[in-house]
Amino acid sequence: MDILMRNFTNVHDIGNLQQALKEAFEIKKERFKYVELGRNKTLMMIFFNASLRTRLSTQKAATNLGMNVIVLDINQGAWKLETERGVIMDGDKPEHLLEAIPVMGCYCDIIGVRSFARFESREDDYNEIIINQFIRYSGRPVFSMEAATRHPLQSFADLITIEEYKKVERPKVVLTWAPHPRPLPQAVPNSFAEWMNETDYEFVITHPQGYELDPVFVGKAKVEYDQLKAFEGADFIYAKSWAAYTGDKYGQVLSMDRSWTVSDRQMGLTRNAYFMHCLPVRRNMIVTDDVIESPQSLVIPEAANREISATVVLKRMLQSL
């Protein structure tokens, strides 16, 4: 029986993870199995922010399913969009999202949206005001290609990757903060935590003081402020930089401490752990050349699995039309 899924923005939309993994491995073996499903169906991908992997892997996934694809970069060629209701539009934005969204909905069957946290207001970001307007006003099923607080296609691909490489039933998975010159959203770490908390893995989060994530996402994870202690006995190291979440420091870079850069020094404490990162990655800020180039680095298989996670999600959305 097909599993119904109208929108895909978080782990709960996908339901049972074992079932989702089963579908992922089925598609990985036979990725064109559902090529008839998307015939004469159109995917529209809307990017408010840059992308390499999401753009390419999602388009590939759609073509695996026989869909047509339209891609729009809002900041290159489209009208600049106002997103606040009630503003007098006498500035530089000629069009409002409230017209643009239903118009986009007219030309497609499914919409993917990438819209990062803007760090102007934590409330707006954590209320997911952009993707929620797409859900409300487009009249179409919507999936996240990284929204303000989550990146579920990435987390699903990460889960697939861990399942493929794990050597023990319940691996120890460590999410570590790493330094970066610019403030980055919490979407990837939030989402990774949200998915890991749905597994029975041992899951630890490590970061300097001040980088606490929203407790909703931390869930039952163990938080360990000593990075070296966290790495002891780990099977998977998942590195990511993020800007502060808490209080009036929201969206700020609090530390550039390169002792947190993942290097052989920390990896030596693990159980010969695999290294993971969603990419794009800044070498020698997040991770050293040696670690990312080592046989333990999974960054490329992880990116390859983005095609698989997107194919499963689009397949289910097509089956639910």
Residue ranges in contact with ligand CP by CB under 6 A: 51-54, 146, 154, 278-280
Which residues have C-beta within 8 Å of that of residue 129, sequence separation ≥ 6? 83, 148
307 binds, among ligand CP, ligand AN0, none (CB under 5 to 8 A by kind): none
Instruction: Give the dihedral sign, CA 109/51/54/261.
Output: negative
From the CB of 5, what's the least distance to ligand CP, in Å? 20
Whether the Cβ atoms of residue 147 and residue 112 lie closer than 8 Å to each other = no
The stretch among 89-97, 185-193, 220-228, 301-309 that binds ligand AN0 (CB under 6 A) is 185-193
The stretch among 8-16, 91-99, 181-189, 266-274 that binds ligand AN0 (CB under 6 A) is 181-189
Q: Does 130 bind ligand AN0 (CB under 6 A)?
A: no
Of the candidate residues 27, 101, 187, 317, the single one contacting ligand AN0 (CB under 6 A): 187
End-to-end CA distance of the chain: 15
Cα–Cα distance for residue pair 203/166, rounded to 1 Å: 14
From the CB of 169, what's the least distance to ligand CP, in Å? 27
Residues 236-275 that bind ligand AN0 (CB under 6 A): none
Nearest to 291 by CA among 269, 265, 255: 265
Cα–Cα distance for residue pair 268/141, rounded to 1 Å: 46
184 binds, among ligand AN0, ligand CP, none (CB under 5 to 8 A by kind): ligand AN0
From the CB of 114, what's the least distance to ligand CP, in Å? 7
Q: Does 185 bind ligand AN0 (CB under 6 A)?
A: yes
Whether the Cβ atoms of residue 114 and residue 49 lie closer than 8 Å to each other = yes
Cα–Cα distance for residue pair 134/141, rounded to 1 Å: 9
Residues that bind ligand AN0 (CB under 6 A): 146, 184-185, 187-188, 278, 280
